Chains A and B, each alone.
Chain A
Amino acid sequence: MLRQGLLVLIGCFILSTAVAAQEVGLAYYAPEVGSSARSIRLGNIEGFSNLANTVFENPAGLYRIRKASVSAFTTEFMDEVGYTNFSVAMRLPVGMLGAGVMATGVDDIPETFLREDGEFDVSGYFNYKNYVGKLAYQYSVSRYMHVGAAYTYYLTRFHEVEGKGQNLDLGFIIDSDALDFSFTVKNVLRSQYVTYSDSSETPEGYEGSDAEYSSDGVQEQLPLQTVYALRYTMRHFQLFGQLKTVGKERQFVRSFGLNYNPAFLPFFHLSGGYKQFALTRSEEGETNTDINSSYTMGLGLDLFGLSFDYAFEKSEHIEFENKHYFSLGISF
């Protein structure tokens, strides 16, 4: 069992460290928001969900579902960006099968034109839609060791631009009574790109060339991520720790979470978390990629197989200082 586990780990490591041959930008990856309020209230700890949304985190985690599960998540940022995801999972004779879709949408983006007086005006509006679809399979090597894989389909549409891509996530979990370990490599195929088609015409007054305006044939890469997470259970408390590599420079970011499940309210969960994230930011003309951090908190209710979770996080937006997340799950 140990040898099999090591082989999986080594395989994932080799795949994840392969350097992309082509210098392209990174694609927007919606699951970065978090796949459930439960994960977010723990500081975006991934891999320990008991519900179908684990297809977005670690496909190996599907083993925790007894028969079937349904999960939904929603939030909105800045009163503009809507996030929703929906996932299902079901146990089959050959193993667990799961599927999920995460959608991001922004409406009423103004299309503009150049007026004769040199000022800009609105000629119409268009919408932005982004979908990340997952199809996952999980297999239990033993009672303690579980592996999984998730195929990812990526689709984005706005104006007359469409981007399509696909990739693969690999997951591995060791489950002991008190200590669990989760390892995931996301978007492991570095030769796969999101390829865009663009049928829009260069607008009048645009000073660049047609080639400069069009993004037809341009590629982006889905971000490669490796996630190492631990969970330690101690009576009514659960401690979480996570290391994750993100971004082009493969920076390590850390997360910590604490969950309290009181004995007198066994259906109630209270959590807090700390998370880091890498962000490239330009401040007064100076651009740097730094590790930033934020704190999260929230609560959860588990009643008769029905889970409701809420998470709260501070935002650095000047107008919308708080982020709220809600998720609902059914498991049976």
Chain B
Amino acid sequence: MVNTQKLNKLSSVKTFITAALVAVVVCLFSPVPAFADDFDMDRSQIGFASVSDFASGLSGTYKNVFLKLAEKVNIANNKKSELKRRQDELQLLRVGFNSVKANSGVSAQAFLGLSGTDDDDMEAAVIGKALVFPNPFRQNSETGAELGYRLSKDMDLEVHIYNMFSQRILKRTFNSGVVGARKGYNKLNINQDTLDGEILSAGVYFYLLIHNGEVLSRGKMAVKP
């Protein structure tokens, strides 16, 4: 009887911890661009570090509780069924979170105080300078060069290149989220294939990064023969 009461108490503690763990898991995996390979270092590193620490601590606590549980109620023998039950709980909690988000607009990130990472609130911008490496470079080669720039968030983006006569020689549109228009650092290749084998004259060329008709960044590159 005493064991059953203890088990019930521990079970409710476990349920709470499981809920928190699920929140962390949702936070880690649902905002893909925020924690994908190319995220905003300044903000996301802080966010990731906090969440990571929190998760580590939680994991340790959970482990201790679980071990105590195992000792007291001797559930070692039916571990598999316990795990299965825990998975069901996780699934239910996930559904619960999604439901809350759908009804109230509060996401798991907001619930954990990370609402600032929501991309919709961010201004579309190129962070720092858009640069070509190497500069100068040979366009008439397989390697060519790369145009690198950091975007504040996923956004539709146009890249224009002009020659020294102010004539546009290239226009390329990238839809939000694809390579070239993703949050974080993007690299675009400029080589002999860029103009289908057409060789650019040696000289200086000017590129613009444009979002919704607004020039976010500009730069110049020198092409060697």
Contacts and interface: CB of A to CB of B under 8 A. Distances in A.
B143 interface: yes
B129 A130 contact: no
B222 A159 contact: yes
Contacts, number: 168
A120 B148 contact: yes
Given A121-B131, A196-B224, A110 B219 contact: yes
A189 to B, nearest CB: 19
A120 B133 contact: yes
A212 B166 contact: no
A161 B170 contact: no
Q: Interface majority SS on B: helix, strand, loop or mixed?
A: strand
B202 A220 contact: yes
Q: Per DSSP, are chain A's interface residues mostly helix, strand or loop, or mixed?
A: strand
Interface in A248-290: 277, 279-287, 289
A111 B224 CA distance: 13
A43 interface: no
B98 interface: no
A168 interface: no
A106 B195 contact: no
B29 to A, nearest CB: 25
Nearest to A277: B167
- Interface bin, chain B: 35 or more
A206 B134 contact: yes
Interface in B52-96: none
B9 interface: no
Contact of B165 (A32, A119, A159, A280): A32
Contact of A208 (B133, B143, B194, B196): B143
A81 B195 contact: no
A158 B133 contact: no
Interface of A: 25-28, 32-33, 77-78, 80-81, 104, 106, 109-114, 118-122, 126, 128, 130, 156, 158-159, 161, 163, 194, 196, 198, 200, 203, 205-208, 212-215, 218-220, 277, 279-287, 289, 292, 315-320, 323
Given A163-B225, A282-B196, A318-B210, 4 more contacts: A28-B202, A161-B202, A213-B141, A319-B218
8 contacts: A80-B206, A119-B150, A159-B222, A215-B225, A281-B169, A281-B171, A283-B170, A289-B198
Interface of B: 129, 131-138, 140-144, 146, 148, 150, 160, 162, 164-173, 185, 194-196, 198-204, 206, 208, 210, 213, 215, 218-222, 224-225
